[in-house]
Each structure stands twice: as C-alpha cells, then as structure tokens.
Amino acid sequence: MGDSAMDSTLPPPESAVPEGTLFSMTDVFLFSVIVGLLSYWFLFRKKKEEIPEFSKIQPTTSSVRESSFVEKMKKTGRNIVVFYGSQTGTAEEFANRLSKDAHRYGMRGMSADPEEYDLSDLSRLSEIDNSLAVFCMATYGEGDPTDNAQDFYDWLQETDTDLTGLRFAVFGLGNKTYEHFNAMGKYVDKRLEQLGAQRIFELGMGDDDGNLEEDFITWREQFWPAVCEHFGVEATGEESSIRQYELVVHTDINMNKVYTGEVGRLKSYESQKPPFDAKNPFLAPVTLNRKLNQGGERHLMHLELDISGSKIRYESGDHVAVYPANDTSLVNQIGEILGVDLDIIMSLNNLDEESNKKHPFPCPTTYRTALTYYLDITNPPRTNVLYELAQYATDLNEQEHLRKMASSAAEGKTLYHSWVLEARRNILAILQDVSSLRPPIDHLCELLPRLQARYYSIASSSKVHPHSIHICAVVVEYETKTGRVNKGVATTWLKNKVPNENGHKVMVPMYVRKSQFRLPFKPSAPIIMIGPGTGIAPFVGFIQERAWLKQQGKDVGETVLYYGCRHENEDYLYREELAQFHKEGALTQLNVAFSRDQAQKVYVQHLLKKNKEGVWKLIHEGNAHIYVCGDARSMARDVQNTFYEIVAEFGSMTQPQAVDYVKKLMTKGRYSLDVWS
C-alpha cells in the first residue's frame, strides 16, 4: 500500500510524456536560472564598463591640460615663459618682474613654477611664434637645485630630448662665498645648449654676497634689447604701473573661511594632518627655551620643539624650518601711517584668471594677518617696489627721489645702495622718511615679497631625542645708520616663545628639510668638526649620536671638535655638555678658541694649524671626514685655506695640488659644509 502510494507521486516515464511538450520541468528551471545569470552578467558587465570609461578619461585630459605650459600659453596668448627655481622667494620675484616687463615690448609673459608643469614640453615651445623660455635659477646649499626645481634638474640630467628650436636665457642667483657659486644657473644654461636649444642672451650671475638687485637690473637692461633685436620688436615705451591683483573687501563673510596665518590649507593649524612639509607645517610646542650665554650683549638661546605624534623623522645634520611672525609693533605702525583699519577682511584676486597663482598670499584674510604672517616688512625693498610706490608720493621731489633709485642709471644705483641697502631701510622706515608717500595698503601688500621660512641646523640626534628637535640660535639686533634698531624676524620671535608655567602651550610652525650634511656610514671613521659660535649646532647632534653608538657597543672612531667663541666666561655654548662628552670619551678632542680673551685674536683655523700634524694624520691615514659649519664669508674660507696649507706641507704638494686634494675630498663626501652668509 505504501509502495503504491509512493508510485502514484512519481512523474510518468519519458515514454509516457505527451508529444506536444518540448521541455521537462527541470529543463524549464535550469533554463530560467541560465537566463537570469546571463541577464545579471550582462547588466553587471555593462555597468563595470561604463564607470571606468568616464572616470579614466576625465582626469587624464584634465591633468595633461594643466601640466602643459605650452597649451596654457597658446590658450592665453603668451609667448614668453619665465621659470623660477626659488628657495627664499627672490628668484620667483625676479621671474614675476621679467614676465611683467614683456608687455613693454608688445609681448605677453607668464611666470611659472617648474614643479607644476611637465618640462619635457620645452620641445614644443617653438610651436608658438616668437617664443622664449627664461630661467631664473637659484642655487641652494652646496650647488644643489632648490626644492621646486629638483624634478627639472633630474629631468635635465636624464633626458636626451631634442630642444632644437627652443630659444632661452638664464639668470642665476648665487653667493660667491659658497664653493659652488651659481652652480644651478650654470648647469641649466650649459645643458639646454647641449640639448640643441639656442641661447639668445648670455648667462647672468647674481651675487647675493654683493648686490643681487643691482646684478639683476644690470643683466635685465641688456637682456631686453637682445630680445628686441632677436625677434625684431621695439619697446612700446609703456612704463605705467600694472596691477596684477584686484582688491575685494568682504563685509559679510563666514569667519571659518578666513585665513589667520596658515601657510597652506585653511584651518590646518586647528586640524593637523601629516605628512608635514613646507606647505603643511607642524605646530610644535616649545618645551624649553633657555639662554645659553652667561654674559655679553648678545642673546644666544637653545630651544626644544616637541614633535611627538607628528610622524616627523629627522637625521643628525638636517635642518628645521620655522615660519616666524613679524613684530606686532611694526605692523601697527604701518597701519597707523597709512591710516587704515588693519582688521578689514579682504582678498587680492589675480586679474589673470588662467594663472595658477590666484592670490599673492592666502586669501581671504585681514591686512593685519597679511602683514604679520605673510609679508616681508623688515628687509629693504627692491627697486621695483620703489618704482611702483613712487606714483603715490604727492611731493614731486620725493617722487623723483624714489624713481631715481629705481632707475638703471649709475647715479640711481648708487643712491639705492646707500639710502636703502646700507642704511637697511625697511618699508616702515621708507614710509616714515618719505612723508608724502601714502600708498593704498592693498597695492603695498601686492608688492611686498612673501615672508619666508627660516632654516636652522638641528642641534640634536634623533637616536637620543626621537620626539624633539633642538635649535641653537643667536638673536639678531643691530643699530642702522639712521639710528633705528633693526631686529631679526625669526630670532626675535623665537626668543619670545617661552613655555608658560600655567600650561599654556607656545607653538612654532615647522617642518624638516633633509640635508647632505651626514655622519659617515661607518661609525669607525674619524670625524673632524669645525664650528664656531652657533655653528656648533649640528655637532651637538653628531656628538650625541656618536656617544649613543658607543653605548650600543659600536666601534666609534675619533671624534674631534674645533669650537670657537668670543669669551670663555660669556658665550661658551654647551660648555657643560661638551665637558661631559669629553670626560666620557665620546668626544676625543675638545679644542676651543676664545677670540677676544687675549690681545691677539685666536680663531679655529689657528688651532687647526697648531695641531696640523695630527690633523693631517687623521685625514691621510685615518680617512677622516671633515665638517665645517658657520659663517661662509670668512670662517669657512679661512678654514679651507688652512687645510690647503696643511695638505701642501705634510703631503709634499704644491698649492694647486693641495687644492685639488681638498676638492677631491669634497667630491667623495669627506669634506662637508653647512654654511651661511
């Protein structure tokens, strides 16, 4: 019974299926599944194809358009592009001046940051009639390119692009006190010619140790006639002032959209996000600020910045960059003289809508913020600023006085050199001394250069202090020929960054710049360090690291220091620390020159000569690495000459052979410099 019941539920045998039925129920089910899967696959595949098609094409065309300066020049009717390699803003300023000059010759120019464009496009510049590429290239450190020109430099070294048809000119910015004077300008000039480009005017070489402004003006006044002759154009005679930015005053704006001193992203100081660099500095709390010297008129200081949680890494020998603020009293005095409300919120918007640079500094902001955090108000203004400002002097004699200093005439250059440079007149002093000069504050803000970060050699080792960076600096303060007291922007600002006992944090916007000033890879290699004054800074880090390596059981070579200061009882920096390192054996030799404690001045080079035989033995037999830090103008040069003498005497060489020997040490990385002028 059960069997017959089960049988009655079974489907009929295949032979019993009626002839009109083509598919079984199973077939229908399977067919439905297959159709469903195919439909799903088709729809899914279609979506997957459509989305990448859209997202791929859009950014690619956009990035090509944005990175092509040639396409931009075509679109905006430009035929001159002025690239700048700038570390402190001067090369950028010169590039802007040259690009603005172009209109006087019926041409249109644009200044450009090489970091923002694809420089391989130089091969296409000849597609534009009467086109010209100008390069204002600063040399940084020991013959290095500036940060923003590094990619351009790398490209020049690697490329074999044919630049036939490209016309160019180069103005280099350097300093003769440095070993590799104008190395970047020389290299760009030579390399472009090697690649087939045509130089239309000789390489200009500005010397910041002399008068960089005058060098630029002299080159520029010969450069433009050469351009006119090459392209067959004439000066239009237009010398009128051309505003690059227009003022917009904001009367009703959300304060959350107003910049208050940030150098990059709006509100970046309120919500800090790594990685931290020049465009996104870290706000480091100051944990210690102590005076180093025991007496004397100067103020030498040691600061410690807390970098905990920032993910910032540094090595001994690196530099820390800090963004300072101008003295509030100077800012207030400018506001009073010009009779303006410094708390007006405004923007300066570029009249050239195609320009990558929309504002001269972060906008919208207040005049007070701009003058405090964004603009350089303490350095003597350049001649182009005087020329632009002259139109606002209502007294004709004062107007003529300003115009004369801005001219290329010999008398004008001499007057500018004595009245502005030698007298160290900043913009406030000029407004005070030229009583009829009362320019609109927005035009003044447009003309003043940007306030730049200041660099200091780090005075600590990350092996010993991984969460803090130490600074050693001297406060700059001096009286000018006009009787005014000028103060260094950054050092005066740092001096006042004293940690508060009530727990209120004082902050310093900073980032780390990598350096080539490095300890030897092998700790067993001997080192000779020469660093008078605050030049001792990186060597404090070096000695800390060598002491740490010794504690780790490493074989550490001789660690020799030559340090100098004025008076033993006044400005002997890190005296106790150095004595302790010497006592523990981390510092093998401690040689100190006190220049003014006796009738005859004694400097570090004198101590090197005194120990010349031991110095030669360390260099020649011990393969010692030599490090020099401090003043480039006299100390570094005198020390180098001393090494020439030691090498010549004990190596039995002629003077040229000794020079070549020391130069080879530099090439091998065994003679390193960290100097400033």
pLDDT tens digits for range 475-509: 999 999 999 999 999 999 999 999 987 778 999 99
In 543-648, the DSSP E strands lie at: 559-565, 589-594, 625-631
The answer to whether 457 is a known catalytic residue is yes
24-45 pLDDT per residue, tens: 544 545 555 555 555 544 444 4
The answer to whether 676 is a known catalytic residue is yes
Tell me the C-alpha distance between 522 and 227, whole Å.
Answer: 54
Three-state secondary structure call for residue 487 = strand
Q: How high is the pLDDT of residue 13? A: 34
User: How far, rounded to the nearest angstrom, does the alpha carbon of residue 309 sit from its chain's CA centroid?
Assistant: 24
Tell me the C-alpha distance between 61 and 65, whole Å.
Answer: 6
In 545-663, the DSSP E strands lie at: 559-565, 589-594, 625-631
Q: Which stretches within 149-289 are classed as H helix?
A: 150-158, 183-194, 212-231
Q: How high is the pLDDT of residue 241? A: 65
The answer to whether 209 is a known catalytic residue is no
Label residue 398 exposed, middle or buried (CB < 10 Å: 0-12, 13-18, 19+): middle
| 62 pLDDT tier (thresholds 50, 70, 90) | very low
In CATH, the number for domain 325-451 is: 1.20.990.10
Cβ count near 619 (within 10 Å): 24
Q: Over 60: is that where the pLDDT of 228 sits? A: yes
69-231 belongs to CATH 2.40.10.10: no
Written as one string, the DSSP assignment of 322-391 is E-----HHHHHHHHHHHT--TT-EEEEEES-TT-S---SSSSSEEHHHIIIIIB--SSPPPHHHHHHHHT
User: Stretch 163-175: mean pLDDT, rounded?
Assistant: 97
Helix axes 612-620, 637-650, angle to 10 degrees: 80
Q: Which H/E stretch holds residue 132?
A: strand 132-140
| 405 pLDDT tier (thresholds 50, 70, 90) | very high
Which residues are annotated as part of the binding site for NADP(+)? 298, 534, 595-596, 601-605, 638
| 237 pLDDT tier (thresholds 50, 70, 90) | low
The answer to whether 155 is a known catalytic residue is no
Strand partners, 319: 457, 513
Tell me the C-alpha distance between 121 and 123, whole Å.
Answer: 5
70 token code pair: 């040639």
Contact indicator for 532, 563 with CB cutoff of 8 Å: yes
Which residues are annotated as part of the binding site for FMN? 86-91, 138-141, 173-182, 208
Which residues are annotated as part of the binding site for FAD? 424, 454-457, 472-474, 478, 488-491, 676
User: Stretch 439-458: mean pLDDT, rounded?
Assistant: 97
Three-state secondary structure of 500-549: CCCCCCCEEEEEEECCCCCCCCCCCCCEEEECCHHHHHHHHHHHHHHHHH
Integer angstrom CA distances of residue 37 from 28, 41, 49, 51, 147: 14, 6, 18, 21, 56
Report the helix count and the strand count for the chain, using DSSP H and E: 21, 23
User: Stretch 598-612: mean pLDDT, rounded?
Assistant: 96
Q: How high is the pLDDT of residue 17? A: 34
Integer angstrom CA distances of residue 15 from 9, 11, 21, 28: 17, 11, 12, 19
Encode burial over 427-455: b for 16+ CB neighbours within 10 A, e otherwise. Answer: bbbbbbebeebbbebbbbbbbbbbbbbbb
User: Stretch 400-426: mean pLDDT, rounded?
Assistant: 95
Spatial CA neighbour of 630 closest among 519, 492, 530, 489: 530
350 token code pair: 């570029």
User: How far, rounded to the nearest angstrom, does the alpha carbon of residue 351 sit from its chain's CA centroid?
Assistant: 26
Tell me the C-alpha distance between 341 and 442, whole Å.
Answer: 12
User: Stretch 645-668: mean pLDDT, rounded?
Assistant: 97
User: Stretch 635-644: mean pLDDT, rounded?
Assistant: 96
Q: How high is the pLDDT of residue 239? A: 59
Which residues are annotated as part of the binding site? 86-91, 138-141, 173-182, 208, 298, 424, 454-457, 472-474, 478, 488-491, 534, 595-596, 601-605, 638, 676
Spatial CA neighbour of 194 closest among 166, 223, 152, 231: 166
Which position among 215, 347, 629, 631 bears the catalytic label?
A: 629
Spatial CA neighbour of 117 closest among 76, 159, 87, 73: 73
Q: How high is the pLDDT of residue 35? A: 53
Cis peptide before 381 (omega within 30 of 0): no
Tell me the C-alpha distance between 636 and 192, whole Å.
Answer: 33
114 token code pair: 């090489």
Q: Over 60: is that where the pLDDT of 8 sits? A: no
Q: Over 90: is that where the pLDDT of 310 sits? A: yes
Spatial CA neighbour of 392 closest among 424, 345, 344, 430: 430
Fold agreement between 69-231 and 527-675: yes
566-595 pLDDT per residue, tens: 999 999 999 999 999 999 999 999 999 999
Contact indicator for 469, 320 with CB cutoff of 8 Å: yes
Which position among 268, 457, 460, 515 bears the catalytic label?
A: 457
453-483 pLDDT per residue, tens: 999 999 999 999 999 999 999 999 999 999 9
Tell me the C-alpha distance between 334 and 217, whole Å.
Answer: 28
Question: Length of the chain in residues, anyone?
Answer: 677
Q: Over 90: is that where the pLDDT of 47 sits? A: no
Q: Over 50: is that where the pLDDT of 46 sits? A: no
Q: How high is the pLDDT of residue 234? A: 86
527-675 belongs to CATH 3.40.50.80: yes
Question: What class does CATH assign to 272-324+453-515?
Answer: mainly beta
Strand partners, 528: 560, 626
Higher pLDDT, 363 or 41: 363
pTM over 0.95: no
Q: Over 50: is that where the pLDDT of 1 sits? A: no
Q: Over 50: is that where the pLDDT of 348 sits? A: yes
Query: How does the average pLDDT of the chain come out, rounded?
Result: 90
| For the chain, domain boundaries | 69-231, 272-324+453-515, 325-451, 527-675
